[in-house]
Structure 1
Amino acid sequence: MDLRRLSHVVSLADTLHFARAAEAAHLSQPAFSRSIQTIESELGIRLFDREVGAVRPTPAGEFVIERARKLLFEARCLQREVDLYRDSKLGDTAFGVGPLLSESLMPQALVELRQRYPKIALRMEGGNWIQLLQRLRTENIEFFAADVRDMPDDASLDIQLIGGQPGHLYARAGHPLAGRVCTPLEAWDYGVAAPKLPSTPKAEFAALLGLPSGQAPEVALECDNYSVLKTVVLATDTVLAATDAALGSELVSGALVRLRVKNWSSAPSSTGIVRLHGRTPSPMAREVMACIARVASGINV
C-alpha cells in the first residue's frame, strides 16, 4: 500500500476539497484526482462521494481514513526515530506550556537548558490546555506542560503529573481589601482577572459566591498571559486569581499582596506533562521534560 496515496486520502478527508488538498500535496488537481482514483481501484471500494460542490467520505472511506491516520502517524514516528538513531544527536524541539508554568517555572527551566545546551534551538508555545492539545495532536509540538484537571481521559495521551499548588486571590499594595479579612463577594465586586479557569476552581468560586447550581462566576478579565494580568492588577483595583509561584517577585517586593478571604479554600492545581501515547520523544524533548519536572519539584507548581 502506497503511503503517499494514503496521505492524499487523509488530506482530502481533512479539506473535503480536491483543489485545496491537491495544493497541500503540491500536485496539480488532475494528478491528485488520479491518485485518489488509483487507491480506490487498488482497494476495490469507493472512498469519497463526489457531488457538485461537495466531497464526502463514504462509510468505507471513513473506515479506511481512520486507519490511514494511524498508519501515517506510525510511519512518521519510525522515520523520526531512525533519523535520531542514525544521527546520534539531541536535535531541536518544540513544546507547549500553560499560563501558570510560563510565569512560574519556565524562566528557571529555560535558563538551565540554555546553559547546558547553548547550541540547541528550542521553541516554546504558550496557551491554555485546549489550545496546546490541538497543537499536540497535529504534531506541531512534541509535548506540553499545563494544568491538566480538565484533560479528557484519553488513551491516546500519556500524562505525567509533576505537582500542584493551591490558588489564591491577590491585589496591589494599598488596595481597599488589603490588610483585612474580606468576603469572596467583596473581592469579586472589584472584578477578578485570571487565565482560563479549569472547572474545579470555577465550581469553588461559584460555591463561595453562593451562585445557583450550574451557574459559572463571571471573570472580569480572562487572559492566558500572566504578565498582562499583573500589569492590569498593579494599576487598578482588579483582583488577580493566581498562585504564589506565579507572583514570586511581586510578592517578595510587596507590590502584590495575598488577600485574606473569609472561608477561602482552594484545591491544588494538577500540573502535568502531556504527550502522545506511543510517540518516542526526541532526546532533547526528554531533556526538557526532565528539566521541567525537576524545577517543578522545587517550587511546587
Structure 2
Amino acid sequence: MNIRQLKHFLAVIDLGSLAAAAEVVHLSQPALSRSLRALENVLRVPLFDRQDRRLRPTPYALAYVERARRMVFDENEGARSLALMRDGELGSLAFGMGSSIAKFLLAPLMLEMLDRAPGLRMSAMVQSTDMLHAALLKEQLDFFIGDVRIAQHDPDMVIEALYPCTFGWFARAEHPLAAKRNVTMTHLSAYPLISGGYADESVERRIADLYGLGIPISQHFSLSTSDLSTMHALLASSDAVTPSTAIAVLDPLKAGVVVPLDVAPPLDLDLTLGIIHRAGRTLAPASSRAFEFIRASFANAAAELSRLHGRRAGLGAAPSLKKRAIKTRR
C-alpha cells in the first residue's frame, strides 16, 4: 500500500465515478482500476462493489475513508514541513479576515510582510467568518482572523483570542442626534440606516431583540454594503446611521468625522476576534511574523479607542462602548 493508491481510492470516493476520478488523477480507467484492486489485496477487504459498470463503496470503504484521509494529510504535511525548512523566508502564506478589520489591518500587514520577507508569496481573502472557516477546512488558508466562537469547540482548531470588540451606533459629528442623550430606535429610524459588513444570524437576532425589530432586520436598513470605505463616505456625507464595531470606524473616529451616538439600550453584542488555524498544520515560518504584527495592531487599536473614549468623556460627550472580557484558548 502507498499514498498514491490512497489518493486514487479517495478520488473515487469523492467523485463517485471511476471515469471522473481517472481524469483527476491522470490515469486511464484500467490503470486506476488496477490500483484499486492492489489496495484491496493489501487490505484484504473489498472496497467497492462493481455493478452495472459503477463502483459503489462497501461498508469497509466507508469505515476506512477517514483514516485514509488522515494518512494522505500526514504525508502531505511531512513533505510540506521539509519544503518550508528549505525555503526559510520564501514560500507562500494564505490568510483571511473579515471586512470590518481588513480596512485597518490588511494593507499594513501585507506591507510589513513584503518588507521583512520580500520573497514571500501572499494571498488574502476578505469574507465572513463562516466562509473563512470553510476555506481553512479546505486548506485554502493557513490561518484567518475572525470571530473565535466558530472554532471554540473544535479540537482540530487552534485559537488565539486577541480583541474583544466594542460596539455602538455611529453617525457624522454634526448629525442631529450627535448631541442627544438616550437616543431610541424611534429616533434612529427617522434617518437612513446602513448595514455594514457581514452579520451572522445570532447577531441579527440580538439586534432585533434589543430594539424590537422584525426579522429579517435587513428590511429596516436603507443601505447595505460590506465595503467599509463606502460606509465611511456615506456616514461622513449624509445623515445615515450605522450599528458597527468601533474598530470598523476607527479611522473616521480618529479624524473626528464620525462619533458614537448615545443609544438606549446600548448595542450589547458578544464578539471576540482572534487568530484561528488548524491543529497539526505546519505554518509557514513567516506566520510567526504575521502573528506578531496582528497582535501589535489590535493592541494599538484598543489603545487608540480607549484614548478616544477618554477624550470624549472629558468633553462631556459620553456614549460608552461596552467591552467584553477576552477569553483565550490556545
Q: Which runs of 5+ in 2 are unaligned?
A: 306-330
CA distance in 2, matches of 1:53, 1:211: 57
CA distance in 2: counterparts of 1:171 and 1:55, whole angstroms:
61
Instruction: Measure, in 2, the Cα distance between the counterparts of 1:175 and 1:91.
Output: 49
- Encode CA deviations 1:77-124: one digit per residue, 9 max, x unaligned: 111111222344442211111222212323333332233223322211
Aligned to 1:168: 168
In the TM superposition, what is the alpha-carbon distance from 1:203 to its structure 2 partner?
3.8
Asked if the contact 2:88/2:285 (under 8 Å) is kept, the reply is no
Distance of aligned partners of 1:162 and 1:237 in 2 relative to their CA distance in 1, 3 Å threshold = same
Aligned to 1:245: 247
Query: Does the C-alpha gap of structure 1 residues 16 and 227 become closer, same or farther in structure 2, counting only changes over 3 Å?
Result: farther
RMSD between superposed Cα atoms in Å: 2.8
Query: Paired residue for 2:132?
Result: 132
TM-score normalised to structure 2 length: 0.79
Letter in 2 for 1:187: L
Among 275, 278, 295, the alignment partner of 2:277 is 275
Q: Could you tell me how far apart the structure 2 residues matched to 1:48 and 1:234 are?
A: 64
- CA distance in 2 between counterparts of 1:201 and 1:61 reads 41
The within-5 A match list for 1:33-52 is: 33-50=33-50, 52=52
Report the equivalent of 2:146.
146
Aligned to 1:209: 211
CA positional deviation for 1:5: 1.1
Q: How does 1:159-238 map to 2 (within 5 A)?
A: 159-172=159-172, 175=175, 177-181=177-181, 182-187=183-188, 190-198=192-200, 201-210=203-212, 217-218=217-218, 220=221, 223-231=225-233, 233=235, 238=240
Computing the radius of gyration from Cα coordinates, the structure with the larger value is 2
Query: 1:268 Cα shift?
Result: 5.1
CA distance in 1, matches of 2:78, 2:252: 47
Work out the number of aligned pairs and report it: 299
Per mean C-alpha deviation after superposition, the further-off stretch among 57-66 and 197-206 is: 197-206
Task: State the distance in 1 between where 2:149 and 2:185 align.
Answer: 23
Per the alignment, do residues 99 and 55 of structure 1 end up closer, same or farther by CA in structure 2, a change over 3 Å counting?
A: farther
Greater mean deviation of Cα atoms: 237-246 or 278-287: 237-246
Deviation of 1:18 after TM superposition, in Å, equals 2.2
Q: CA deviation at 1:11?
A: 1.8
Alpha-carbon contact 1:185-1:209 (below 8 Å) kept: no
Letter of the structure 2 residue corresponding to residue 284 of structure 1: A
> What residue in structure 2 maps to residue 78 of structure 1?
78
Cα separation, 2, equivalents of 1:53 and 1:261 = 67
Identical columns (%): 29
Aligned residue for 2:301? 299
Task: Evaluate the alpha carbon distance shift between residue 273 and residue 52 of structure 1 in structure 2; reply closer, same or farther with a 3 A threshold.
Answer: farther
Structure 1's 5 and 261: CA in aligned 2 closer, same or farther, altered over 3 A? Answer: same
Task: Determine if contact 1:184/1:208 at 8 Å carries over to the other structure.
Answer: no
Supply the AA of the counterpart residue of 2:199. Answer: L
Bigger shift: residues 12-21 or 216-225: 216-225
Higher mean alpha-carbon deviation, 287-296 vs 218-227, is at 218-227
Task: Return 5+ residue gaps in structure 1 as ranges.
Answer: none
* Change beyond 3 A, Cα 1:29–1:176: farther
Q: Distance in 1 between matches of 2:239 and 2:272?
A: 29
Whether 1:12 aligns to 2:12 is: yes
**From 290, 299, 302, the counterpart of 1:288:** 290
